[in-house]
Every structure is written in C-alpha cells, then in structure tokens.
Amino acid sequence: MTAEPTRVVVVDDQELFRRGLTMLIGTLDGIDLVGEAGDGDGAVEVVLRTDPDVVLLDVRMPGRSGIDTCAELKALMPSVQIVMLTASDEESDLYGSIKSGASGYLLKSSSVDEVADAVRLVSDGQSLITPSMAVKLLDEFKQLSSVDVGTSTSPRLTERELDVLRQMARGRSNREIARALFIAENTVKNHVRNILHKFQMHSRVEAVMYAMRAKLLDAP
C-alpha cells in the first residue's frame, strides 16, 4: 500500500520567496502542497482549514511574528509539525522558535534536497536540530535551569530512555542514536515515543527542554 503524501503549508511574507518554495515543493515526490499564506493570521486560517502535517513558517514577518504564530498553531493543533524558515541562525530566533513548539529550523538558503529531508524528518516525528544548534540550545537551557522544576515530580525514565534522551539532546537522528547505542532504529522510535508520553510532550525538542530544566541530563 502506498503511503499517504505529507501535506505541507508554506507561510512567508515575501511573495517571491514563497512562490519559489511552493514551486519547489510541487516537484517533490511524496509531498503535497495544500496551502500557503503571507502572514500569521493567514497561517492560522489555512492550517485550520487544510490540516497539514508540516508547516514551513517564516520566523520574521510583519505584524504577528512567526514565533508567536508558531505558538498559536501548536496550541490549536498540537500534532502539526512546524519548521521555522530563517535567513540566519541567530540564537534568539532559534531559542524562541523551539520554545514556541517548533520541531526544527531551516535556513532559507537550503537546497531542494534539504527542504525535502526536513519535511520528511519532522513528519516522521523527529527534530530538525543540527548538533551545532543543539549546543546553542543546551547552553541556553543551562542558564534557565536555575528555574528548577524539581526532579522529584519528574516522570521516571528507564536507564535506556535516559540514554536515548541524552542522544536527542545532542541533536542526533533516530538512525544516529541507534548506531551510538547499538540498538535497532525501531527500538529508538519506541523509546522516543515512551519519553514523549511520559513527559506529555509533542516534540523531541520540548522533551529535551523539559529534561534540561528538570536536570535529568546532568548525569553523564
């Protein structure tokens, strides 16, 4: 049986860039463009109407920012995966995006293959965070860890789940985690699913944020 195509919405206030990206998406196998918008209000309307799997969302837009739009979309539709589009990897944008619920971060200069890989990765429940981005995020989370959420009330993870969580915090994909821990990729997926369930989170990045603030990653 053929898998259903991944449904994508593109949101960017720069019409030329948006048109170019939608044209590129139209050439990709297994990915369907189901809507587009030029601002935050339009994004909310089209996402609610089309129920996409993935939203490619510009970080910086006039009026309602991409970060604020991301937070609202995640509140309305927690299952939608959001990849933020940006012209640079400024740390403030990176942290704000992840904090608002984004599953990843994609430079606007990315190639067609990188866009396709990003869409497929997040639609599979993974996070589009490079190791270098992960380092920046971890540094930021460590500064926030003074706001102690208390490990006594944190869900209890198995040792193997903690191993997987530490690998997730390094920005590694399921395949990379499987190789590092010498386990099957499907086993990694099961552990990630269990971690998200225990934390009551919708994305891997949210789980890592919670774990950092709960100081669950302090152990080696």
Per-residue pLDDT reduced to its tens digit, 98-152: 778 888 888 888 888 888 888 988 888 777 776 666 666 666 665 555 444 444 4
To which H or E segment does residue 93 belong? helix 91-99
Residues 101 and 209 in one domain: no
The answer to whether residue 218 is domain-embedded is no
Domain-terminating residue out of 106, 128, 150: 128
- Please tell me the pTM assigned to this model: 0.71
Side-chain-side CA neighbours of residue 130 (13 Å): 9
pLDDT at 151: 44
The predicted model gives 13-27 an average pLDDT of: 90
Percentage of the chain lying above the pLDDT 90 cut: 36
State the residue range of the domain holding 79.
Answer: 6-128
Among 5-9, 47-51, 110-114, 142-146, where is mean pLDDT lowest? Answer: 142-146
pLDDT at 54 over 90: yes
Cβ atoms of 96 and 206 within 8 Å: the answer is no
Single-letter residue type at 168: M
Instruction: Choose from 142-146, 191-195, 206-210 the range with maximum mean pLDDT.
Output: 191-195
Residues 84 and 45 in one domain: yes
Q: Of the candidates 193, 121, 113, 195, which has an alpha carbon nearest to the alpha carbon of residue 159? A: 195
Number of domains in the chain: 2
Any idea which residue has 């067609």 for tokens? 112
Q: How far is CA 128 from CA 38, 83, 151, 171, 193, in A?
A: 23, 8, 27, 8, 17
**pLDDT tens digits, residue range 77-94?**
988 999 998 886 666 677
Among 26-40, 58-72, 82-96, 171-185, where is mean pLDDT lowest? Answer: 82-96
The predicted model gives 172-192 an average pLDDT of: 90
Side-chain-side CA neighbours of residue 167 (13 Å): 24
What CATH number is associated with residue 32?
Answer: 3.40.50.2300
The answer to whether residue 219 is domain-embedded is no
